[in-house]
Amino acid sequence: MEQAKSVGSEGIKISGDVVFEKVGEELILLNLESGAYFGLNSVGRRMWELVLALGSPERMVECLLNEFDVSREILERDLANLIRELKEKRLIKGE
């Protein structure tokens, strides 16, 4: 299993060519440039909404800790994993 990096303080933004649509509880993301797509469950969807609203992983962690019954350590790990995966698919980018 790949070791997760900790959440950094860099700002993140949604890539310009990304569109997304909510389907039931899921959010489907698509990079129109590459054709890569990705499905987010309800928690991932909330993280995505916070990417849109806040852009800062640190602020996202604070916000999510208030919403979910989860330890900071697990949340930071899950968020870092998600950010890495979304970056790999060029769905988000760091500033």
Regarding 39 and contact with other proteins (CB under 8 A), the answer is yes
The whole-angstrom separation of Cα 35 and Cα 6 is 28
* In contact, 37 and 88? CB cutoff 8 Å: no
- In the numeric block, which tokens belong to residue 81? 């994993």
Answer yes or no whether residue 16 interacts with other proteins by CB under 8 A.
no
Measure the CA–CA gap between 4 and 93, rounded to whole angstroms.
Answer: 18
Q: Which stretch binds other proteins (CB under 8 A): 2-10, 19-27, 50-58, 79-87?
A: 19-27
Stretch that binds other proteins, among 2-10, 33-41, 42-50, 58-66 (CB under 8 A): 33-41
Judged by CB under 8 A, does residue 26 bind other proteins?
Answer: yes
CA nearest 20: which of 9, 33, 8, 30?
A: 30
Interface residues with other proteins (CB under 8 A)? Answer: 19-21, 23, 26, 28, 30, 32, 35, 37-39
